[in-house]
Structure 1
Amino acid sequence: MKRFLLLFLLIISLNCNAQLFGRDPIINLENFDKQRVSWGYYLGFNYYDFKFEYEDIDKDILVESTVGFNVGLIGNLRLNEYFDLRFEPGLSFNQRNLTFPNFALEEEGLREVRSTYIHFPLLVKFSSARTGNIKPFLVAGVSSALNLSSNINSKEDNSNNVFRMAKWTNFYEVGLGIDLYLEYFKFTPSLRGVFSFNDELIRDNDPNSPWTGNVGSMKTRGVFLNFTFQ
């Protein structure tokens, strides 16, 4: 998460040139935000984690997170000068490695959780007044995600090295970003946190399973660093 934040700040600083922030900048795309509906796409990175809660006090399940990739489309509906409604369907790919405690052999307790989500966020964007060629904003909303790698229909479980998760997950999302009006398009770096509402773990067939028996809930949380082009 710290690396994402540093990269986000670096990108903003690299764009702090005279054209955007000078005393008398050339105003780019002056009427862009007056469109009722606008479209775009985004590319970016994600960093997913799990938040575990336990039935009884025990050693924590260790989560090793990796950086994944996002790609998607944007539909933007202008409500007024300061508010927009946005729909941002996309794909995100990620892997999380879980190490469960109390196993003599580490490989018995290791599970590689590969996730491919089809993400459906509905967001409200609140922007400040535009200053020259920049406009900071906050964004918040809810989303649902379909996990194509959930293994929910598998009859096998962790005893057969199959880790199962819920097929659908609901999130709330909050974030911030800055619109940069360049000569030919609007470029927007943004940073957003996503937090699951629901328990995503499908328990093993054995209620006393050493992998899932002590887990009260398992919820996804993550950070998205996206770069939008409109």
Structure 2
Amino acid sequence: MQTFDLWDKFNLCWAKVVIGVVVIVAMSGNAVYGQLEGEVNLPNSDNKKIKYGFSIGVFNSNFKLKYDDVFVTPAFDSVQSINPVNKFGFSLGLIANFKLAQYLDFRVTPKVGFYQNTIEIVYTDPTRETFAANTDLSRVEIPLLLKYKSARRGNTRMYLIGGVTPAIRVSGSKNEQELVDRIIVEDQSLSIEFGFGLDLYYPLFRFSPEIRFSRGINNMLSANDIANTEGVQRLTLNSVTLYLQFGD
């Protein structure tokens, strides 16, 4: 059962990503040009104890699964493999940045992420079955991150970022009949995040493109799901996200 037609459009998302990268490169060129010209934008920005902003993210996510021991028994002779399927999604969030030291910040970045995660069962016939997770459509995530910055060079600064992200489902399939063809996963999850980015200072705002990797910690597979994931022992959610962030 398809619950949200928007997901079909993510197959065309790579074109948008390419356009985004071109925009980032162009903006980076402008920042470097400003540096060569001797212009210093937002000179007092890094002295603020608290800064705010917002972010737009485009991500590719999938489940990482571990097979159950039952998968190698004769009961699964007709199953060739159980595979996670890569899916695109997007997120919208806010940023609260707290300065801890000259080169160290603490960030809270609450956001809403729109997911569709599925697994595909490939049989030896070969036929295929696809099951989507009941976590569709949205999850509230609260990344708690440390940002380690390099020294500022004119209007640019590199940084590393990492931390943990608790999340909870806020919408999705809850009707028992709808869940017949669904993977039932837990509402809560916890993941480790790490990545890198670039602060580009402009006269009126700071633009920060960032790549961040997320790796799930807890097993999201619900004990209530014994029909569609009998051959799976553990499910965790992984993603790679391109963030476009704007702040003061």
Same fold (TM over 0.5): yes
Letter in 2 for 1:16: S
In 2: Cα distance, 1:175 partner to 1:214 partner? 33
1:63 maps to which of 80, 84, 87: 84
Counterparts of residues 1-230 of structure 1 (less than 5 Å): 10-17=22-29, 19-21=31-33, 22-56=35-69, 57=72, 59-102=80-123, 106=127, 109-113=129-133, 114-149=136-171, 160-204=180-224, 206=226, 209=227, 211-230=228-247
Render the CA deviation track for 1:80-100: whole Å, top value 9, x for unaligned: 110000000000102133212
Q: Give the equivalent residue in structure 1 for 2:4.
A: none
Residue 149 (structure 1) shift: 4.1
Amino acid at match of 2:115: N
CA contact (8 A) 1:8 1:225 kept: no
Q: Could you say if the C-alpha distance between residues 36 and 90 of structure 1 is closer, same or farther in structure 2, counting changes exceeding 3 Å?
A: same
Secondary structure of 2:64 counterpart: strand
Amino acid at match of 1:138: L
Contact 2:31 / 2:201 at 8 angstroms: preserved in 1? Answer: no
Distance in structure 2 (CA, Å) of the matches to 1:24 and 1:45 = 33
Q: Which amino acid in structure 2 is aligned with residue 111 of structure 1?
A: F
Q: TM-score, normalised by structure 1?
A: 0.85
Runs of 4+ in 1 over 6 A off after TM superposition: 4-8
Note if contact 2:28-2:200 (Cα within 8 Å) is conserved in structure 1: no
TM-score, structure 2 as length reference: 0.79
* CA deviations over 1:100-130 (Å, ceiling 9, x no partner): 23387957x2223334110011000000000
- Matched residues, number: 222
Q: Distance in 1 between matches of 2:231 and 2:112?
A: 32
1:223 shift after superposition = 1.0
Deviation at 1:217, TM superposition (A): 0.6
* Structure 1: gaps spanning 5 or more residues: none
SS across alignment from 1:16: helix
Q: Secondary structure at the match of 2:116?
A: strand
Amino acid aligned to 1:132: G
* Superposed CA offset, 1:2-55 (max 9, x none): x69967754442123354344343100000110001111111211111111102
The residue type paired with residue 43 of structure 2 is: E
Q: Which amino acid aligns with 1:221?
A: N
Distance in 2 (CA, whole Å) between partners of 1:64 and 1:205 is 19
Query: Does structure 1 retain, via aligned residues, the 8 Å contact 2:65–2:84?
Result: no
Cα distance in structure 2, aligned partners of 1:191 and 1:64: 21
CA RMSD, 1 decimal: 2.7
Which runs of no fewer than 5 residues in structure 2 stay unpaired?
Answer: 1-13, 73-78
- Corresponding letter in the other structure for 1:180: L
SS at match of 1:212: coil
- 2:208 match: secondary structure: strand
| Aligned-partner Cα distance in 2 for 1:16–1:72 | 23
Deviations 1:164-208 (A, max 9, x none): 1101000000010000001100011111001110111124564xx
Alpha-carbon distance in 2 for matches of 1:103, 1:115? 32
Q: Percentage identity across aligned positions?
A: 25
